Amino acid sequence: MIDFLIKKLELFFITLFILTLILFWAHIRLGDVEINKIVPEYIHYAGNLVTLNFGNSTESGMPIIEEMKLFFPPTIELLLLSLAVSFCVGIFLGIVGGLNHHSVVDKFVYGFCLLGSSVPVYWSAQIFILLFCIYIKIFPTTGNISMLYDVPRYSGFLVIDVFIQGNNEIIIDMLKHLALPLISLSLVPCATFARITRRSTINLTQNYFIKAAYCRGESRFDIGVHHVLRNILPDIVQKLNIIICNLYSSCILVEVIFDWPGTGLWITQSINNSDGRIIETTTFVLGTSFLLLNITLDILSTLVINRTRLTHG
């Protein structure tokens, strides 16, 4: 186990080094660096990045780290909420489809998987805007809260802040703003989860212990929760990093469409303003956090898989 951890940490530092090299290349292309002083420049640059000393934005003049504190929480809350929603719904659909293989329900689940992986997120967001903001005017189109309300910052996460403040009117307004981005963002990962779960459930039901459970007279629900769900979790954990990665890609688009004040909107605006420093630093921070996430998931999946191996002999 310790060997494995050391190997993963080694890999992390090597990839971090490559990431800083790529970003330094971008820095050379965007700014002016003297060619004969390239090594000290690189060390200075990488040192600044690693110690989180990012400098100021050329557009607003504010320190970038302060701006990050403003723009990261909305993205993180949108990502986590949509991950939770799609995880629950997707796994439910997948298990239901897999347990009733070759039935009408399964056909519907398969159709949903196929449709979900071929519908681009920006198109479904547009359709939701068209349906729920133009034909039936119940949801607002932009922002994460109405301009009229003033919510004090406790944690930076709007969902938590609003509940701390405890004003019903504001809570409903926040939920209305949240609904459309959340649904359109959750559609694609939901289909992915459903596809993986359905596939591995079908493979799993060939095993004898599931048939034995049926013979013992356990209900479908019990089999789904006690036997299937526990045994397919390793498969899902292995794919989780790719799902989160794709989720962030679509999160950028959803933020741009719904004017959600998160990192996606910020990066897009900074590319339009050709603010190179923001692009470099956000890529560094996001890349590092995704790397850390990958390694954590790797370790987690090894642990989970090892444990299942031990228990099943």
Partner 1 sequence: MFDLNREAREIQSDKDIAWEIYKKSTTDMIGLYTLILCICVIFILPIWVNFDPLTQNVAERLLPPSWSDRGNLHHFLGTDEFGRDFLSRLLIGAQNTTKYAFLACFSSLIIGTSLGLMSAMSRSRTRKGVLHHIFDILFSIPSILIAFITIGILGASLPHAALAIGVSLLPRFIHESYCAAKKELEKEYVRAEISDGSSRLHLTFTTILPNILSTIISNMSQGISIAIIDIAAVGYLGFGAQPPTPELGNMLASGIDIIYVSTSKAIIPGVAMIVLIASIQLVGHGICRVLNTGVADAA
Site residues for partner 1 per CB under 8 A: 11, 14-15, 18-19, 22-23, 25-26, 29-30, 114-115, 117-123, 126-127, 129-130, 134, 199, 203, 241, 245-246, 248-249, 252-253, 256-257, 267-268, 271-272, 274, 276, 279, 283, 286-287, 290-291, 293-294
Beta bridge pairs of residue 56: 63
CB 204 to partner 1: min, Å = 12
C-alpha triplet 219, 221, 225: angle, nearest 5°: 125
Of residues 170 and 243, the one with the C-beta less far from partner 1? 243
Smallest gap from Cβ 259 to partner 1, in A, equals 12
Eight-state DSSP code of residue 37 = G
Q: Toward partner 1, which CB reaches closer, 170 or 194?
A: 194
Nearer to partner 1, 159 or 243 (CB): 243
- Using the minimum distance from each CB to partner 1, give the nearer residue, 20 or 144: 20
Q: How far is the CB of 158 from partner 1 (least distance, A)?
A: 23
Q: Which is nearer to partner 1, 14 or 88 (CB)?
A: 14
Question: Residue 218 in 3-state DSSP?
Answer: coil
Q: What's the rounded Cα separation, in Å, for the pair 21 and 39?
A: 11
CB of 218 to partner 1, least distance (A): 27
Q: Which is nearer to partner 1, 125 or 174 (CB)?
A: 125
Q: Please tell me the number of Cα atoms within 13 Å of 100 on its side-chain side.
A: 15
- Max CA-CA distance within the chain? 77
Nearest distance, CB of residue 142 and partner 1, angstroms: 12
Distance (Å, whole) CA 143 – CA 90: 27
* Among 121, 130, 118, 110, residue whose Cα is nearest residue 82: 121
Pairwise CA distance, residues 210 & 229, whole Å: 12
- Closest CA relative to residue 263, chosen from 282, 289, 288: 282
Nearest distance in Å: CB 288, partner 1: 9
Residue keyed to tokens 């439910």: 92
